[in-house]
Amino acid sequence: MSWNIEESTPNVEEIDEVYWGLREQAFNITPADLHITLDVGEKYQVYAAVIDMPVNNAISTLVCMFDGTTSLYFSNGGAILGAGQKHETVAKATREFLFSSGQAVPFIQKVTEYPLPTTKETTVYLKCGEGVFSAQINMEEKQTEIHKEFLDFLIQRVLNALRDSNEL
């Protein structure tokens, strides 16, 4: 699979209904659904992430859950489901990403809407006790903000674990 990012993104009408449903389900997940309790004093403890990545003329969405669930949805309707359940290395990379990404939350914007990217930038959504926070990252360029560089590094670790597991 090529990860070359282009300027264009798909027309919303061309995106598969299954993709929309899976993506919406990821945004609706709660700590209770994952059978976890967030620490009261840790308001930025991230329990789920949705990462929308423009790839060619489509969107790939990486979904990471604190229970190790790791899936990749494609706007054309394809998906890689449950890679974290099949491969412990993927689940470990996902948990490390979620555990560590909370450090970036104070530096990114709280959001209540979750649009798809309209540029070549990847959109990262982090779900924590304080709500959903978002950052845009250009994965092709060196990051100038340390929190975006950190998130980019963590995302690449999850993607590399997926590649190494032969799921990609």
Biggest distance spanned by C-alpha atoms of the chain: 43
Tell me which of 152 and 168 has the higher pLDDT. 152
Q: Give the pLDDT confidence of 8-54 residue by residue, as tens digits.
A: 555 566 788 999 999 999 999 999 999 999 887 788 999 999 999 99
Q: DSSP letter string over 44-94? A: T-EEEEEEEEEETTEEEEEEEETTS-EEEEETTS-EE--HHHH-HHHHHHH
For 59-81, the pLDDT digits (tens) are: 999 999 999 999 999 998 888 99
pLDDT for 151 equals 94
What are the pLDDT digits (tens) for 98-135?
A: 999 999 999 999 999 999 988 889 999 999 999 999 99
Query: Across-strand partners of 59?
Result: 54
pLDDT higher at 18 or 145: 18
SS3 107: helix
Two tokens at 13? 């009408």
According to the model, what pLDDT value does residue 56 have?
80
Q: Report, as an integer, the average pLDDT of 54-60.
A: 87
pLDDT band at residue 88, thresholds of 50, 70 and 90? Answer: very high
Give the per-residue pLDDT at 123: 96
Question: In a 10 Å sphere around its CB, with 0-12 CB exposed, 13-18 middle and 19+ buried, how is residue 28 labelled?
Answer: exposed
Domains and CATH numbers, the chain: 12-164 (3.30.1560)
pTM (two decimals): 0.89
